[in-house]
Amino acid sequence: MSRHTVGQLSSEPAVSSLGDEACALSLEVQSRHFAVIARAIGYIRAHAHRQPDLNEIAHAVHLSPHHLQRLFAGWAGVSPKRFLQFLTKERARQLLMSRFDVMSVAHETGLSSTSRLHDLMITCEAMSPGEIKSGGAGLDVRHGVAPSPFGPALIAWTSRGICHLAFCDEAPLDALRELAGLWPAASLIRDDGGAAALLEKVFPEHPCPGRLHLLLRGTNFQIKVWEALIRIEPGQLVSYGAIARASASPRAQRAVGSALAANTIAYLIPCHRVIRESGEVGNFRWGSERKLAMQGWEASRQETGPE
């Protein structure tokens, strides 16, 4: 199997006006906060035509305005108003206007921005068709459920790298069944402690360089699409068409959509950064509210920077 570096991916800690207390939020606390954030985003999307204010949003999620303000600032690093500005359609359209040139540069250099608080170097290895066909025979796949900034997550890994990352909310059994279906002949070993430690590396509390290896199972085209995704800057958005061009298949937008839907390594292969040409959020296998939350979370950290 060939190993190759396909780019850099940033995962940054919370930076907020609440000081050290907010910056030190554990993944478990962030995970609990996310459930409220997602409900707030869902309410705003449903009532966007009349632009609900902080009081109305807070009432909808059963919090006081002050509590919601603190929760948003602790989780996202910015106020609810500023966070929601990151999620507007107009912002998305403006970002889309320049993204292809940015992707071209990233593709040519193999690198992305050096100005981040935290860089994870992502390396990938593709499974062979024979390995995929065998269903993981002879492999030990360790896995577990642990908190993440976007709710409970199921992560799985082998000796060769991370092979699965999915958000599972209140239905971890469904996520576990999906994992078992992908690796029917492998030995599945439950390890929640190992999962928590690995997710701390994916979403670190403090800035630190790191390296993670991904084990990919997909067609050649799907892997090209996933490699193109890894080159996208955190906080940036691209269209399906831009991804098709970066994958050397400019007319394959529908196939790009299918490749995104087939991605089973959430966040690290950042399909949440791909939206429609119109600026609409588009589909996401782990929910459109979570997709919007991830976009705003990344954008807020890119803007606030280090304290």
Q: Active-site positions?
A: 271
**183 vs 90: CA distance, rounded Å:** 42
Query: Which residue, chain included where needed, has tokens 């807020």?
Result: 300
Output the six-digit token pair for 22. 């907010």
The letter for the amino acid at 126 is: A
**232 vs 237: CA distance, rounded Å:** 8
Q: Could you tell me if 75 and 34 are in contact, meaning their C-beta atoms sit under 8 angstroms apart?
A: yes
Sign of CA dihedral 184, 163, 260, 244: negative
Continuous segment of H or E residues that includes residue 165: strand 161-167
CA distances from 117 to 31, 104, 152, 213, 307 (A): 21, 23, 24, 20, 10
**248 vs 157: CA distance, rounded Å:** 30
Q: Read out DSSP for 243-294?
A: HHHHTT-TT-HHHHHHHHHH--BTTTS-GGGEE-TTS-----TT-HHHHHHH
